[in-house]
Each structure stands twice: as C-alpha cells, then as structure tokens.
A and B are shown apart, each in its own frame.
Chain A
Amino acid sequence: MKAERFALLFVIVLVIGVPLVAVLARSTSDTIEMHAQMADNGGWTPSNLTTQVGQPLHLRLTSDDVVHGFAVGQSIIPPVDVLPGQWTTTTLVFDQPGKYTFYCTRWCGPNHWRMRGTIEVTGTTSETITTTPPLYVTLNLDLDAPHPSEVVPDEKPSAIRGAALSVKRDRAAELDRTQSPAQLWQALKAAPETAALTDQQIWDLIAWTYRSRTTPERLAEGRQLYQQNCAACHGETGQGDGVIAPSLMKTPMPGMTMTGHETVAPINFMDAKNMLGASDAILEGKIIRGGMGTGMPYWGPIFTPAQIQALIDYLWTFQFGQ
C-alpha cells in the first residue's frame, strides 16, 4: 500500500514537474530561436525583433530548407551562414537606436531578396547622427524615366589610352555626380581645350576620369558586392544574363498593361546607350529605392553609402575598360 502511494506521487511529480521545468527553462533563456525558410514559404520566423541599445540580442538560427545566411544591413556585424540541420548562434549589440533590416545573404531562389526582417532598437544615445538624404531625393530625379545616351563610343573606352592623352588631365578630376558620361562627353566636345580630340579620345578621357577617381580596393569591394548580390540576375559579366534572369523575363500578353507586379529582364550593364546616359545619382537612386514593379530589390536599408558608391564604381567598369 505504501509502495503504491509512493508510485502515485512519483508519477504526479513527473507529469507536472517535467513540463514545468521545460517552461521555466524557456522563459528564463533570452536566446531567440529563429527559423529560416525560402521567402515563398515564409522567410524568417520570427521576422520582427525588438531590443534596446546596448542590450545584447542572442540568436540561434537554423534553416528549414536550403542554405541561407544572416546579416544585418548597414552594420559591421559579420554575416553568418544558416544551414539546414545545424544551429548557428550569433549575438547582436546595437549602439544606435533605430530600425534595422536583417536579410538573407545566400541566394535561395528568385525571391531570395524578399527574405528580410526588422529589428527595432529603442533607447537613447548621447551622440546624434545626422543623415543626409541621397542625391536623387534632393534633386527630385525621376528614376523611372528612360535615360538613353545620344552618343555612344565606337569601341569600349579605355582608361589607359585616356591617361596617355596629354590634354588637360586634371580637368575632369572632379566628377559631377549628377552628370552622365554622355553629358560629360558633350561638355568636353564643346570645350575649347578638348576640341582637338577625336570622339573616341574624349571617351577614353572620360574612361580615365571614372577609373582614376576610384581605388583598386573600392573596385574590389564593389566587385564582391556585385557578385554576391547582383550577379544572379544581372550576370557575372554584367550582360543581364544571370541564372535567375530567365525566370524574370515574362513577356506580357498582348493587350495587357503593366500593373506594377510584373518582373522584367534585368538591365544589361554592357549596353552603352542605356548606361552612358545614367548619372551616379540615378544609379544610386535605383540601388537604394529598387525597381518599383520590375523585380529589382531595394538595397537602401542593406548597403551603407560607401558600399553603394563602391558598387557604382564597379558598375562603371562594365563601360570603361582599363
């Protein structure tokens, strides 16, 4: 009889105690478990996090399908890979309040870039950061307007040939970020110092200008950003023929109008007519704001201004050779 009572007590303690311990352990642990799935299947779970300035955010990440990556936009926190069947831990500390975007860093399908979430960081900080709006906002540029170049070079402009020209090498050292290469070409064509140059020589001079305002390190950074984030659609050689491109090129049925939900073929950066008519400000705007109904992602909350400039410098190398 005594043994029976003891057994009953044992079972009751077991039934109540085990779940209680599990619940307590979960409530006291401040580690957040996050699951990653392709954007089509739900993306990040949870996708909205909150924390406070200076308070570390511990994350435990795993993938439910394919290889993903985790990174926080505009921050120096190193990205981590999120692999199926494995747990990755990372700790985030923010020293500035604001709304941060975290995103997937490994291409996981055509909708990879939609795999994003936010981290709301509250609190106060002593230092105030003033941000200047990008050039396309202050200039009120229409990013969707076509910008064909009226003039195109016969062959790919070469910075080496441009550097060899003796004419006024310092003239173009300071580039106007609102000016397109085509406008610069027109200006140089009209200028008396460069009037003696042939059309192609003026292009070479412009190529040298664009090449000499950047550094090899910045080009390398731009190249890396391009390969990781852009090449899947725009192609490794910039011709708009990336591996995802075929799934984006859906020709609209005759008689149908664009509703803004379609995707279009990625831009070919080797196309001189289109590229040479664009200014730094337009390229920057398109990267920050995205394509708005073309399938082009918006990178504003992901890249820092320096990263965007490195990317733009790299984009110009598709037009201006060494």
Chain B
Amino acid sequence: MGAVVISTNQLTKKFGDFAAVDSVSFDVYQGEIFGFVGANGAGKTTVIRMLCGLLLPSSGTASIAGFDIYSQTEEIKKSIGYMSQKFSLYEDLTVKENIRFFAGIYGLSDKEIREKGDGLVFELGLQESAKKKVKELPLGWKQRLSFSIAIIHSPQVVFLDEPTSGVDPIVRRQFWELIYAASERGITVFVTTHYMDEAEYCGRVSIMVDGKIRALDTPSNLKTRFSGNTMGDVFRSLARGAARVGD
C-alpha cells in the first residue's frame, strides 16, 4: 500500500437535525481505486462535496494530500480533479475548446495544453470529433471526455460522482478502462456509484447505508464475509432495512 492520500475521521454533515453523513472514517491510499457504494440518498455525494471543498463539514476532520479540508482548501483545489454528478462540460463549445478552457483554469501553459489536449483526443479516439460541439457527442463519449478533462492537470486524487449514470454496462466498461489507466499513472480514484457491476471493478469498496459506512473491504473479501456471489448480494444484505430508500 502507498501513502495515505485521503483520510477522514468522524466526518459528519448535518442539515438541520438530519445527519446526511454520520461519523464517517476511512483512509484511501495512493493509486487506489476506492469505491463508494450506496443507494440514492445514502450520503455519497455529500461526502464527495465535503472532500472537494464544496460543503463545510459539521464536525470531524479530513485531509487530502496532507492538506486540511478546513484551512487549506486552496492547496487542495490544486491537487484534485472532480467530475460531478451532473454532466458538466460546456455543450456549446467544441471538444478542443472545452479541453483548452479547463486546462487553462488549472494553469497549464499553452504548450502543455496543446500536447496534453492532442494526447487526450488521440487516447479517446476523438480525432474526427475534436472540432465538433460537445452536445453532438453520444453520452458515453461525453463522460469519457469529461473524465479525461478532470485529470488533465495530473491531480493526486480525482473524485467521480456517479460518473457513468445513464449508460449501459458495455459503455461503463469502456469508461472504467480510463479509470484503470489513470490509477496506473498513480492517480488515486475516488468513485461513487450505485451500479453493482462497477463496485466489482474497485480496489476497495465502502458500502454506505443511511449516512454511515456499514462495511469497507476489497470486493472479494466482502463477498466472502457476507457470503454472496456478487457485490449485489452483499449490498442487498447490508441495505436491507435502510431507512432512506433511494428512488
């Protein structure tokens, strides 16, 4: 195992009396693909938003790349990438223009933007579509482009919030090839999903139910422990009786 990149301790977020995230503690190691699995409303997105600096925790501590999430948000922002639940490229800009924009926001030089942009377009097989507007691309391509752009500045960690919602398992599989490639380059991947096939692809999986982490281990260990054949079985046995039922 590499160095600890994300570390949380008793991290909690309350909205009024409602604890969306309730005393969550875990560590994520460098280069790991760390999955956050749970039904809608279990609190996955809230955890990601706290770690990315979009929400201030109610209590508990957390650090990313050694930086404290309360006091060192500027440093954290430079070391992370983020792909939100909502599709978030500019549809009225072309593939190249989106790349240029987000790379520019992260302070890449013109030369780096050109080199990385060309590499990215090549890697995704988008040479033909580089000058097309993003809205003309199929959803699966958009998601892969969005991911590649989220890591264009070579962050230490990339946070993916349900990155593949709305596409079929084959397209999801293609997306995961990009995740593996990023992980091999040493980028830590923190991904939330409610697809159980994706949970199988993760290095370790944490299962969230009603704002709490109910289990955290590798997929094979979890399956042994909860005597299930698939991650779906594991999830169902843990989530039975959950108060917050997803839609």
Do A and B associate with each other? no
